[in-house]
Amino acid sequence: MSIRTLVNPYAVEILYEPPPDRAPLSFHRRLPGYEETPLVDAPQLADRLGVDKVFVKDESNRLGLPAFKILGASWAVYRALEELTDDEGFGGWGTLDDLKAKLQPLRPLSLVAATDGNHGRAVARVARTLGLGAKIFVPEDLVTARREAIAGEGAEILVVNGTYDEAVERSAEADGLLISDTSWPGYERVPWWVIEGYSTMLWEIEDELDRRSEHGPDLVVVQAGVGALAAAVARHFRRPGVAPNPKLIGIEPTAADCLFQSASAGRLVSVPGPHDSIMAGLNCGRPSLVAWPTLSKSIDLFVSVDDEPIRDAMRLAAGSGIVSGETGAAGLGGLLGLLLTEEGKEARRTLGIDADTRVLVFNSEGATNPDAYRRVTSG
């Protein structure tokens, strides 16, 4: 097993930037089929890790899709469409049918995205819901099950002979409204709205812990591809007034650890392909420009890990009744790989992890590759 760790000497306890608000949560609550996803108390996982509690935010079923990505996609599409319309009352839409009616002057219009699976499917679902087209660019190695799921949303699939990052480049050249979850110079507002959209799951966690009269986590572990989800998590837990102030760990695949490498270099770094981890949603070679400033100041420990502990995590999650795909299990797997190895001894000291620690991890997707999931969990 290969695992590398990097302590961030620039991490701060409070980010003095506009803190997240509940506007995306209010928006998502008005979508048909909205329900809070479960916050699972997983004592078996806590015992395995030698900590007090492990909470798993289970995003294996969010608004009818097997991943959290629709939170960012729907909010970003909504905000982007606000900018495209001249109707000053657009933000006050009542029902989804009201919103669709106000889009009539914009038709024909297609939403455009690049994806390793979940983001593209989410954008395609939003497009289908609004009666818009969808053009989704995918890398050539995207597995058949994920391609078919995107096509099942009515999207046009455009296969790029290259990596996810090359698919992003192609998507930026396409006609339509680009809804990317990563950013580059000159394209920053939409990816920032994606990050804002993810805040819904963080407010849900906070509200659920309040209902249980539980205090928040001491340690938060989040998977990091381009960094959008990790940035949403950091903004939430590094805002003023949070107590306890948790330590944050970012987990990446060894073959695509662009945030780890950027933190090591002290500047944005691209990691060349091939990016071939089973953690398909994290096979990203370049960090998001809008996510990096937040992450560079908030993640306490960057961790890159190979695939072996991820498979263990998928099986352990299944034993706790949680269906966790390869990317979904990355946070838990990275933590397992860290704490149950020699590197973990130093990490425990550095981060103050002990038998009283309360941990939060994110199951960011379900079995998006069903055949692979069955092979892993039945082994």
Give the tens place of pLDDT for each residue, 65-106: 999 999 999 999 999 998 887 655 556 666 777 788 888 888
pLDDT of 87 reads: 57
Active site residue 57: no
Residue with tokens 């837990």: 237
Paired tokens of 268: 């944005």
What class does CATH assign to 3-68+192-377?
A: alpha beta
Distance CA 115, CA 225 (A): 12
Active site residue 69: yes
Distance CA 59, CA 331 (A): 13
pLDDT of 94 reads: 67
Percent of the chain with pLDDT over 90: 87
Choice among 58, 116, 218, 306 that is catalytic: 116
pLDDT of 13 reads: 94
Instruction: Let me know the angle formed at the C-alpha of 193 by 129 and 200, rounded to the nearest 5 degrees.
Output: 75
Q: Is the pLDDT of residue 162 over 90?
A: yes
The answer to whether the CB of 259 falls within 8 A of the CB of 252 is: yes
2-17 residue pLDDT tens: 899 999 999 999 999 8
The answer to whether the CB of 244 falls within 8 A of the CB of 222 is: no
Intervals of CATH 3.40.50.1100 along the chain: 3-68+192-377, 70-190
The answer to whether the CB of 262 falls within 8 A of the CB of 268 is: yes
Distance CA 333, CA 336 (A): 5
Q: How distant, in Å, are the alpha carbons of 181, 183, 276, 353, 355 from that of 187?
A: 10, 6, 27, 39, 44
Distance CA 225, CA 158 (A): 21
CATH code of the domain occupying 70-190: 3.40.50.1100
257-294 residue pLDDT tens: 999 999 999 999 999 989 999 999 999 999 999 999 99
CA dihedral of 293, 296, 298, 300, whole degrees rounded to 10: 170
Q: Per-residue pLDDT averaged across 298-314, rounded?
A: 96
Q: How distant, in Å, are the alpha carbons of 29, 122, 195, 272 from that of 68?
A: 14, 9, 12, 27
Q: Is the pLDDT of residue 208 over 60?
A: yes
Identify the CA nearest to 193 among candidates 32, 288, 303, 74.
74
Cα within 13 Å of Cα(283), Cβ side: 27
The answer to whether the CB of 331 falls within 8 A of the CB of 32 is: no
Paired tokens of 87: 């109707």
Helices (H), the chain: 23-29, 43-49, 70-84, 96-102, 118-130, 144-151, 164-171, 189-211, 228-237, 258-265, 292-296, 308-319, 330-339, 342-351, 370-377
